[in-house]
Amino acid sequence: MSLPPLVEPAAELTVDEVRRYSRHLIIPDVGMAGQKRLKNAKVLCVGAGGLGSPALMYLAAAGVGTLGIIDFDVVDESNLQRQIIHGQSDVGRPKAESAAATVREINPLVDVVIHNTALTTENVMEIFSGYDLIVDGTDNFATRYMVNDAAVLLGKPYVWGSIYRFDGQASVFWAEHGPCYRCLYPEPPPPGMVPSCAEGGVLGVLCASIGSIQVNEAIKLLTGIGDPLVGRLMIYDALEMKYRDVKVRKDPECVLCGKNPTVTELLEDYEAFCGTISDEAAEAASGSTITAQELKAMQDGGEDIFLIDVREQNEYEIVSIPGATLIPKGEFLNGSALEKLPQDKRIVLHCKSGARSAEALAIVKNAGFSDAVHVGGGVLSWVKTVDPSLPSY
């Protein structure tokens, strides 16, 4: 399938631009017309993180005239392993600003628009409407569904990518010409089933593999060349070093882009739609959540507790709360953890941020440990409020 170019060409290129983009201009398929289209293009990158870093850098170098960057976060040391648009001296700086500085350094001809804010249901329609194309580099399901819904409602194409450990995926969703993200994934995964990169890790260079596919597709859409990744899902396995693509069909029953859509405006609450934790976990945690400082006081007061870390071995080795026994969440899910629990001590569970431990708490309480509790905010909160000398991750 070939599609018409997304943007009209700019009137002309300056002498500086001709010099800068000469290696594009001599490719027959791009040429002067294609480069002028890139100059006229307005592209928004959602997230200046793992995927946003290479995406923004190559979009800038390619000569995309207007580049929007939206990110509410600040640069953390643990980002630098893969988020190559930021450097050591950017730690603590808003990501949108740090990314904008790198873009300007790569190509001062780019008009950079900084959105140093979270993308929300209140601002997404207005922000998206100022751009021709969206590049989605988000790392959570709530934002992904919101990006998809806004793009479909506005009739805009977007290039999606996702990364986890050694595996990456990418596609172009454009309801006018093919499926949307909801056609591929009608329902978000059950809460706690799909770990985030923060929980599961990601090989840094994987971001470049997937981010560059996203830029490649963005350039093709903007200039109208090649066979776009519409209706196809690209799947990359870095360990096997294999790319394969599978057909994704438009779902006629899709609630958003199907024949009889029931979702005709943005959802009120995407976090609730994706459920950060399950109903059972939320119920178990209600009234049975302690703070990291309360845990410290229990330990200092000599209370008879059994502290369980439900994260994975690798995470435990990075940082752990003194006195914690590692029993990963999977052992609670398959039931094997229960026989390891003492009957005569109070069970205290924790994980990284409190989501996984709430899921485990529901299982433990169901098994009859009615006074069990979990630590809200997990080990991150312990590092922040009890022992800042420990590393965070």
Catalytic positions: 197, 351
Between 183 and 383, name the residue whose CB sits nearer to Zn ion: 183
Cα angle value 11/15/18 (rounded, 5°): 80
Cβ 177 to Zn ion, closest distance in Å? 12
Cβ 250 to Zn ion, closest distance in Å? 6
Q: What span, in angstroms and rounded, lies between the C-alpha atoms of 71 and 60?
A: 17
Q: What span, in angstroms and rounded, lies between the C-alpha atoms of 167 and 381?
A: 30
Contact with Zn ion (CB under 5 A) among 183, 307, 337, 364: 183
| Residue nearest Zn ion, Cβ-based | 254
Task: Please list every residue from 252 through 281 that binds Zn ion, using CB under 5 A.
Answer: 254, 256-257
* Buried/exposed 46-70: b ≥16 CB within 10 Å, e otherwise: bbbbbbbbbbbbbbbebbbbbbbbb
For the range 268-272, what are the long-range contacts, defined as Cβ-Cβ under 8 Å and sequence gap of 24 or more?
A: 268/121, 269/121, 270/121, 270/142, 270/143, 270/145, 270/146, 271/142
Cβ 366 to Zn ion, closest distance in Å? 37
Q: Which stretch binds Zn ion (CB under 5 A): 81-89, 172-180, 353-361, 368-376?
A: 172-180
142 φ, ψ (degrees, to nearest 5): -60, -45
* Buried/exposed 280-312: b ≥16 CB within 10 Å, e otherwise: bbeebbeebbbebeebbebbeeeeebbbbbbbb
Q: Which stretch binds Zn ion (CB under 5 A): 177-185, 260-268, 281-289, 292-300?
A: 177-185
| 227 to 256: interface string for Zn ion, x by CB under 5 A | ---------------------------x-x
Q: Which stretch binds Zn ion (CB under 5 A): 71-79, 183-191, 273-281, 360-368?
A: 183-191
Cβ 151 to Zn ion, closest distance in Å? 11
Between 172 and 285, name the residue whose CB sits nearer to Zn ion: 172
Task: Please list every residue from 92 through 151 that binds Zn ion, using CB under 5 A.
Answer: none
Regarding 180 and contact with Zn ion (CB under 5 A), the answer is: yes
Contact with Zn ion (CB under 5 A) among 24, 36, 182, 356: 182
Using CB under 5 A, count the residues that bind Zn ion.
6
Between 242 and 259, name the residue whose CB sits nearer to Zn ion: 259
Q: What is the DSSP string of 74-142?
A: B--GGGTTT-TTS-GGGTTSBHHHHHHHHHHHH-TTSEEEEE-S---TTTHHHHHHT-SEEEE---SHH
Between 44 and 183, name the residue whose CB sits nearer to Zn ion: 183
Q: Which stretch binds Zn ion (CB under 5 A): 124-132, 173-181, 234-242, 365-373?
A: 173-181
Residues forming the site for Zn ion (CB under 5 A)? 180, 182-183, 254, 256-257
